[in-house]
Structure 1
Amino acid sequence: MQLSTATFLPQEIIRKKRDGLTLNDAEITFMVKGITSGQLSDVQLGAFAMAVYQRGMTMAERITLTQQMMYSGNVLNWQQMDLNGPIVDKHSTGGVGDKVSLMLGPIVAACGAYVPMISGRGLGHTGGTLDKFDSIPGYNAYPSEQMFKALVKRVGCAIIGQTDQLAPADQRMYATRDVTATVESIDLITSSILSKKLAAGLDALVMDVKTGNGAFAAKMSMAQELSQSISHVATGAGVPTRCLITDMNQVLGKSVGNAVEMAECVDFLCNPQQAEPRLLELTIELAAHMLDISGAADTLDAARDKARDALNKGHAATVFAKMVEGLGGPADLLEKPTLYLPQAPIVKPILAPASGYVSAMDVRAIGMSMVSLKAGRSKAEDPIDYAVGLSNMVQMNDYVEQGQPIALAHVRSDDQLSMLNQQILKTIQLSPKACKTQALIKECYQA
């Protein structure tokens, strides 16, 4: 039964959390309703976010906060769509070159599951899935709910952006956290991620929690804490969730940017035998976990085989092509990617200053170099240059001779080329000996 919230005062709830006490369901419900309606002022919201940041929340509080933020707007209901498979999605905490979602959704859909993927744009050093899709001319990332549902049913997958109707409380909360130094709160990160994902009406969810120098959770301990929180809260909210902690100490795949990553995605789907091995391994593994946890495959091994078959036999490429066409993009993107994807006027190699094995990458710095090219954004309203970026990047433990390319720079001017040369050469370390290979998938956690 819904408790009355009429007698609550925001300042008293803020005081209670400031003093380290546990909020009850009715108090959290009151605060979320105030966030959504605007009755909670920006000052009060900032104070509440800081109190949570400083004092934390119990798992029960996190579950209630997540559920109330999820229900602050529309929650998609698929019951009337008569789908003949489970509804499952994946979310990544963000990385550099992390283009997995582009191929993953179509692979899982080709295996009989349905993937209504609601994705975000990049901010800071990490790239955004929607920015990559925006490099496709005509692609509509904000279709109507009716069109979105119809495409998911017909094709099996649709990758779109968060609308104002989905978890609006999170949109205001996130904007406040961004300017009040409260972004790095496990409690608020958990509710922010899950309120959007669970509003998609999922049966199951898989999380890719990145750790390493190119990840938000740079330390393994933070990645573990976030994985446990997300898995417990999502499962407690009724959606079984599995978290994989994966390595982000090197660029994922061989490209960083928007059109260049979309081009790598197209090549991945059309020529999977030539895909970069780490990108292929992670994509198949995440697909397998999505199929396994959702019940679309009987075992994890069977799910891996199913995902590989869908990719190798071209079924995933077919789903991708139909999705792109269904959202307004060109029907022949897979056949003619260079005709449609933006091309930078200058494409030149960045040459190794010495010979050696690639022994370390400053992945965050590589991501920030993309921001300086305007392939990424430092503020939400910043425009994006979809054509610029890096391709054909070396991987960890690759051996390069002095003067050989370590990457291809896609730029608009000689000044950009000079800047990128200087920045990228500082981010890649060459050593006489190969280094120890880091595990791509470090842990798997499910509550």
Structure 2
Amino acid sequence: MAGTPFLPQEIIRRKRDGAVLDAAEIEAFVRGLIDGSIGEGQVAAFAMAVFFRGMNMDERIALTRAMTHSGTVLDWSALDLPGPVLDKHSTGGVGDKVSLMLAPLVAACGGAVPMIAGRGLGHTGGTTDKLESIPGYRAQPDLARFRAAVAGTGCAIVGQTPDLAPADRRFYAIRDVTATVESVPLITASILSKKLAAGLDGLVMDVKLGSGAFATGLDTARELADSLVRVAGGAGLPTVALLTDMNQVLGRTAGNALEVGEAIDYLTGGARDPRLHEVVLALGAEMLILGRLAEDPATARAALLRALESGAAAERFERMVAALGGPTDLTEALGRHLPRAPVCRPVRPVRPGTVTMIDVRALGLAVVNLGGGRKRAEDAIDHRVGLDEVAGLGEAVGASRPLALVHARTEAAADRAAEDVRAAFAIGAAQPDAGPVIRERIAALMR
């Protein structure tokens, strides 16, 4: 990334004024992210300029490539992995714990899944935050341990190590606390720089759509999905995007340890929320087809269901947890290992009725306010807190069926969260049309 020095303030000014940046300017800015020569205020200013002015496709590709090559790009060819290197990424949603089930499921079906996941952004939870609620789990291992875990178990879910896309790691944290999360170019570059650095053979994108997603409307979701598949395709990575519904919490939990518990229940057969189950199967089928591990969706789904019912997926999950420093008996002794909040309280509606609408973003922010997410980049997370038994659209609620259970540190925090939860639900008599959880499929454009 050598080249003529650029003044970061001039790059910021040009983007602020709507200019198209060339690859050299973008590479210079990314170089400053890596070596620290660009200050946090300048990074925030650049993010805000892109937020308002956008980036064309060439700029997005240049930013993605620069961030990809800001660190190590993995090559798995020497490890004799059991199958193709596959991954999935979600644009973020409330209660989205799909990765926790999907990685071991695909591994049990013959794929290798080196999943580099993110932390929470804004009102949405982060996969690595969830996994760090497991005692001992090392979400940021060194590359040697990451490689060994993938080779030994077929999957490993980790956060960004210092070696992988380090420019994005810094950018990601600053975006989270500067209200610049909702930018299609920045989301595209952030997601794909990590995925391209992981050395993948195929990628499936879960682009969330609805009140709990970055993309609240169909047009925005399509725009983001199109950006992702076009940039990935331009880099030679076969990619498929599914648009999935986020107008209600995915599953029944929102909060780190609570979501891990739900994921383990799913893998072991304790409970499987139907909408969550459909998203897992749809994404998993696309991964198996991309990796040539299945010929069609029906064959792929059958393989995934066999891996679930046989216990093979749960076994892979437990082996992955142990390989990354967690307990060896997590699925058998869940209650002993996962932390629990001292206060658990039902939140009942003001009046009985049917759930007709949910402000899912508000529920996500309620979890953040409980301490389950970050308001500042340096904030610590309380993995115990969150929401459980969250009601869905069309569900009858009242004295015997609360809107949710609040898990909180204190009684006062539970009181505040209960108010937030009640305000997020609309209760009426009509039965709403929730619509399908899988909305659309968008295939990648390959160069």
Bin for the TM-score computed over the shorter chain: over 0.9
Percent same amino acid at aligned positions?
51
8 Å Cα contact 2:143-2:161 kept in structure 1: no
RMSD: 2.2
Q: Within the alignment, does 1:32 sit opposite 2:60 as a pair?
A: no
Q: Report the Cα offset of residue 169 of structure 1.
A: 1.7
Instruction: Name the residue aligned to 1:314.
Output: 311
Matches within 5 A, 1:144-159: 144-159=142-157
Deviations 1:378-431 (A, max 9, x none): 112212222222222222111234453332222333323322322222222221
Q: Report the Cα offset of residue 313 of structure 1.
A: 1.5
Instruction: Name the residue aligned to 2:172.
Output: 174
Q: Within the alignment, does 1:353 sit opposite 2:343 as a pair?
A: no
How far apart are the structure 2 equivalents of 1:182 and 1:414? 33
Q: Within the alignment, does 1:283 sit opposite 2:280 as a pair?
A: yes
Q: Within the alignment, does 1:103 sit opposite 2:101 as a pair?
A: yes
How far apart are the structure 1 equivalents of 2:362 and 2:251? 16
TM-score normalised according to structure 2 size: 0.92
How far apart are the structure 2 equivalents of 1:210 and 1:180? 21
Q: Within the alignment, does 1:216 sit opposite 2:207 as a pair?
A: no
When the two structures are aligned, how many residues end up with a matched partner? 444
Q: Report the Cα offset of residue 46 of structure 1.
A: 5.0
8 Å Cα contact 2:403-2:421 kept in structure 1: no
Q: Report the Cα offset of residue 284 of structure 1.
A: 0.9
Instruction: Name the residue aligned to 1:300.
Output: 297
Q: Within the alignment, does 1:164 sit opposite 2:150 as a pair?
A: no
8 Å Cα contact 1:351-1:404 kept in structure 2: yes
How far apart are the structure 1 equivalents of 2:164 and 2:401? 48
Q: Report the Cα offset of residue 150 of structure 1.
A: 1.1
Deviations 1:96-141 (A, max 9, x none): 1111111111101111001111112213211111121111111111
How far apart are the structure 1 equivalents of 2:45 and 2:387? 41
8 Å Cα contact 1:5-1:27 kept in structure 2: no
How far apart are the structure 1 equivalents of 2:43 and 2:401? 53
User: Which amino acid in the other structure matches residue 290 of structure 1?
Assistant: M
Deviations 1:348-388 (A, max 9, x none): 32223322221111111111111121122211221222222
The 3 A distance-change label for structure 1 pair 264 and 180 is closer
* Residue in structure 2 matching 1:400, options 386, 390, 397: 397
How far apart are the structure 1 equivalents of 2:3 and 2:332? 58
User: Which amino acid in the other structure matches residue 77 of structure 1?
Assistant: D
User: Which amino acid in the other structure matches residue 264 of structure 2?
Assistant: V
* Residue in structure 2 matching 1:343, options 320, 340, 344: 340
Q: Within the alignment, does 1:386 sit opposite 2:383 as a pair?
A: yes
Can you give the 5+ residue segments of structure 1 that lack an aligned partner in the other structure? none
How far apart are the structure 2 equivalents of 1:35 and 1:412? 37
Matches within 5 A, 1:227-242: 227-242=225-240
The 3 A distance-change label for structure 1 pair 44 and 252 is closer
Q: Report the Cα offset of residue 233 of structure 1.
A: 0.2
User: Which amino acid in the other structure matches residue 102 of structure 1?
Assistant: L
How far apart are the structure 2 equivalents of 1:308 and 1:376? 33
How far apart are the structure 2 equivalents of 1:13 and 1:380? 25
Q: Report the Cα offset of residue 64 of structure 1.
A: 2.1
8 Å Cα contact 1:390-1:408 kept in structure 2: yes
Q: Report the Cα offset of residue 56 of structure 1.
A: 3.0
8 Å Cα contact 1:254-1:276 kept in structure 2: yes
Q: Within the alignment, does 1:365 sit opposite 2:362 as a pair?
A: yes
8 Å Cα contact 2:348-2:398 kept in structure 1: no
The 3 A distance-change label for structure 1 pair 88 and 415 is same
User: Which amino acid in the other structure matches residue 37 of structure 1?
Assistant: D
* Residue in structure 1 matching 2:141, options 140, 143, 146: 143
Instruction: Name the residue aligned to 1:120.
Output: 118
* Residue in structure 1 matching 2:374, options 367, 374, 377: 377
How far apart are the structure 2 equivalents of 1:39 and 1:421? 45
Matches within 5 A, 1:50-69: 50-69=48-67
Matches within 5 A, 1:227-266: 227-266=225-264
* Residue in structure 1 matching 2:187, options 186, 189, 202: 189
How far apart are the structure 2 equivalents of 1:12 and 1:263? 49
Instruction: Name the residue aligned to 2:410.
Output: 413
User: Which amino acid in the other structure matches residue 246 of structure 2?
Assistant: M
- Look up the SS of the partner of 2:372 in the other structure: coil
The 3 A distance-change label for structure 1 pair 104 and 173 is same
How far apart are the structure 1 equivalents of 2:325 and 2:5? 50
Q: Within the alignment, does 1:202 sit opposite 2:194 as a pair?
A: no
Q: Within the alignment, does 1:330 sit opposite 2:327 as a pair?
A: yes
8 Å Cα contact 2:253-2:262 kept in structure 1: yes
- Look up the SS of the partner of 2:114 in the other structure: strand
Q: Report the Cα offset of residue 84 of structure 1.
A: 3.3
